[in-house]
Chains A and B, each alone.
Chain A
Amino acid sequence: MPDQISSKQADDLILSKGQEGKEYLTLNLGPTHPATHGVFQNIIKLDGEIIVEAEPTIGYIHRAFEKLAERRPYYQIATITDRMNYCSSPINNIGWHTTVEKLIRAEIPKRVDYMRVIIMELARISDHIICNSVIGVDTGALTGFVYMFQKREFLYEIYEEICGARLTTNIGRIGGFERDFSDKVWKKIEQFVTEFPDVLEEFGGLLQRNRIFMDRTINCGPITAERALNYGFTGPNLRAAGVDYDVRVMNPYCSYQDFDFAIPIGTQGDTYDRFMVRQQEMRESISIIKQAMSRMPDGPFHAELPEYYLPDKEKVYNSMEALIYHFKIVMGETPMPVGEVYHCVEGGNGELGYYLISDGGRQPYRLHFRRPCFIFYQAFPEMVRGNMLSDAIITMSSMNVIAGELDA
């Protein structure tokens, strides 16, 4: 380019003279944007910095779980459920086990229920830790995240002690657990429930009444209770909008009726309320774990279900019946009742449902997962319309959309 250009050349460089007025900017947010915490794509139409329209595209990590489940024996499906909401996989595992137990009408010992409650509440805490600390990160406060993640790491150590795995836990079996909790597990849980409340308080102290955080999150991505119900919201996102629907209270499973806990609710349904509801739920979870530990009943750690629960190795080698059952279970030859069941648990994000049709075969005839993320994420465009672009980011992280659960 010459240093000087003629006025004619300058005229040519002006791109389009066009009419005066607005022009929207279309922005592709994702699928691998670091701020979306997962594989989500949003095609966003912007007027300056204000969102006019958002269109989510999902399915980037679709793994056909419902089809896969049609070719797997019941006990192998637990590993599929791990990979849905991988932030709280024990809840998914136990949800699946209880669904099968409902199908076979199994009687579960109280001790198993209480152990399950402890694990599920630990998982709920680990789920909420991710969500809340990430809201902090997205508003620019990294400290709380690192601080909370030390405790989350500790939770993974507890899982590891119970089942040997950290992320995709495959915890428990149909009928109970594969082994009783060791003393080390009890000691670690004890340590967690004594240490965590202080950490939570300190984390809350960083954000809850922080002027910058409040300005940033209050009135950001709000939804009314009516719209939330119409969109099929469940879990903390629905409770933040002011509806006290919690599966644990409305349809108690795993002896949740034995425990005394509150359902925290919000009023505005905005990012701040979702944050606060999760904060309070973590406190309630700690209280549930304490109650379960103090009232832990004695008894077996699994139900007496020889046709569905793998026998001890010792027995397999020494007794004929145990050997037969062992083979029958592993080869998937145990009879299943014909029928259809729907069972749901309160997952980290809401009502996690399993709709199972059994034709009596070794694998389900049809299995449908009610994934809370899939259902409430469709409200995202409505929630961010008219907000700033940066609000869309924290709205999404406060909804706690987990890609694995969204796409199944």
Chain B
Amino acid sequence: MVLNKMNGEIRDRIVKDIHTHFSTAILKEEMNYDFLTLTLQKEHVIPVIRWLYDHEELRFRFLTTMCGLHYPDQEEELGLMYQLHSLENNYRIRLKTFFTTAQAEVATLTGIFSAANWMEREAYDFFGVRFKGHPDLRRILNVDDMIIHPLRKEYPLEDQTRADKDDSMFGR
């Protein structure tokens, strides 16, 4: 099944238009199954989303989801994924951005989508991404006095000091 009604012609036009409006914003462009995925520079994410939101024809006015990503092997190890949906045209698009742990500060999306409020709190809680201008940036699902950001890859799932669990017995 195909989630996306966006055809090749429209895809090319979106990429070309973003190029003309935001010159060097797009770092990478790829197709993942039925999704156009654009990797953007960190400071261009919010302007591009705003442009897609305001675009008279495309009208990406629904924030489907948003989440953090972590690739410890990359230099810019932390990332964010945004997924927008244009309900009128049934187009979907995925935007990504990557940055280092030291510079894990991104502008907030709450000015455009109210839905981004808790999603950003979740990304902060689990990945430690700070959102500039967020109205209430606190942890959301974990306890307030937790000191780690648990979905980062450096935190293993189970307590590694336990000796009573031998993973090699389970092929792990």
Do these two chains really belong together in a complex? yes
Contact at A232–B150, with CB atoms within 8 Å?
no
Bound-complex Cα distance A71 to B115 (A): 29
In residues 298-313 of chain A, which contact B (Cβ within 8 Å)?
A: none
- Indicate whether A378 reaches chain B with its CB closer than 8 angstroms: yes
B interface size (C-beta, 8 A): 40
Chain B residues with CB below 8 A from A230, complex form: 113-115
Contact at B94–A342, with CB atoms within 8 Å?
yes
Contact at A353–B114, with CB atoms within 8 Å?
no
Bound-complex Cα distance A327 to B158 (A): 25
Chain B residues with CB below 8 A from A265, complex form: none
| 6 sampled A-B residue pairs with Cβ under 8 A | A59-B141, A231-B115, A340-B37, A355-B83, A368-B65, A407-B141
Bound-complex Cα distance A244 to B37 (A): 27
Q: Name B33's closest neighbour in chain A (CB-CB).
A: A341
- Indicate whether B41 reaches chain A with its CB closer than 8 angstroms: no
Contact at A355–B67, with CB atoms within 8 Å?
yes
- Indicate whether A344 reaches chain B with its CB closer than 8 angstroms: yes
Using a CB–CB cutoff of 8 Å, the interface residues on chain A facing chain B are 58-59, 62, 64, 66-68, 70-71, 98, 102, 227, 229-232, 243, 245, 250-254, 331-333, 339-344, 351, 353, 355, 357, 366, 368, 370, 374-375, 377-379, 407-408
Chain B residues with CB below 8 A from A333, complex form: 171
Bound-complex Cα distance A357 to B69 (A): 10
Contact at B1–A67, with CB atoms within 8 Å?
no
B12 to chain A, nearest CB (A): 21
Chain B residues with CB below 8 A from A343, complex form: 1, 3
Contact flag A232-B67 (CB < 8 Å), given A252-B1, A343-B3:
no
Q: Name A244's closest neighbour in chain B (CB-CB).
A: B87
A23 to chain B, nearest CB (A): 25
Q: Name A251's closest neighbour in chain B (CB-CB).
A: B3
- Indicate whether B46 reaches chain A with its CB closer than 8 angstroms: no
Q: Name A105's closest neighbour in chain B (CB-CB).
A: B33
In the complex, number of A-B residue pairs with CB atoms less than 8 Å apart: 99
Bound-complex Cα distance A340 to B83 (A): 13
Using a CB–CB cutoff of 8 Å, the interface residues on chain B facing chain A are 1-3, 32-33, 35, 37, 61-65, 67, 69-70, 81, 83, 87, 90, 92, 94, 113-115, 117-119, 122, 126, 139-143, 150-151, 157-158, 171-172
Contact at B32–A251, with CB atoms within 8 Å?
no
Chain A residues with CB below 8 A from B90, complex form: 250-251
Contact flag A231-B83 (CB < 8 Å), given A68-B157, A344-B3, A370-B65:
no
Chain A residues with CB below 8 A from B115, complex form: 230-232, 375, 378
Bound-complex Cα distance A250 to B86 (A): 11
Bound-complex Cα distance A195 to B41 (A): 58
Bound-complex Cα distance A113 to B13 (A): 36
A346 to chain B, nearest CB (A): 13
A104 to chain B, nearest CB (A): 11
Contact flag A71-B157 (CB < 8 Å), given A232-B64, A407-B141:
yes
Bound-complex Cα distance A66 to B69 (A): 12
Contact at A375–B119, with CB atoms within 8 Å?
yes
Bound-complex Cα distance A70 to B90 (A): 31
Choose one: A351, A357, A366, A407; the contact of B64 (CB below 8 Å). Answer: A351
Contact at B140–A253, with CB atoms within 8 Å?
no
Chain A residues with CB below 8 A from B157, complex form: 67-68, 70-71
Chain B residues with CB below 8 A from A353, complex form: 64-65
Contact flag A355-B65 (CB < 8 Å), given A71-B157, A339-B33:
yes
Bound-complex Cα distance A331 to B168 (A): 12
Q: Name A331's closest neighbour in chain B (CB-CB).
A: B171
Chain A residues with CB below 8 A from B67, complex form: 355, 368
A5 to chain B, nearest CB (A): 46
Known: A232-B64, A375-B119. 16 other contacts (CB 8 A): A58-B140, A66-B151, A70-B157, A71-B172, A232-B62, A250-B87, A251-B3, A333-B171, A340-B32, A342-B92, A344-B64, A355-B65, A375-B65, A378-B114, A378-B118, A407-B141
Bound-complex Cα distance A306 to B18 (A): 44
Choose one: A62, A68, A70, A250; the contact of B142 (CB below 8 Å). Answer: A62
Q: Which of A58, A230, A253 has the most CB atoms of chain B within a 10 A radius of its CB?
A: A230
Chain B residues with CB below 8 A from A232, complex form: 62-64, 113-115
Bound-complex Cα distance A220 to B139 (A): 30
Q: Name A367's closest neighbour in chain B (CB-CB).
A: B67
Chain B residues with CB below 8 A from A59, complex form: 139-143
Q: Name B143's closest neighbour in chain A (CB-CB).
A: A59
Bound-complex Cα distance A370 to B65 (A): 6
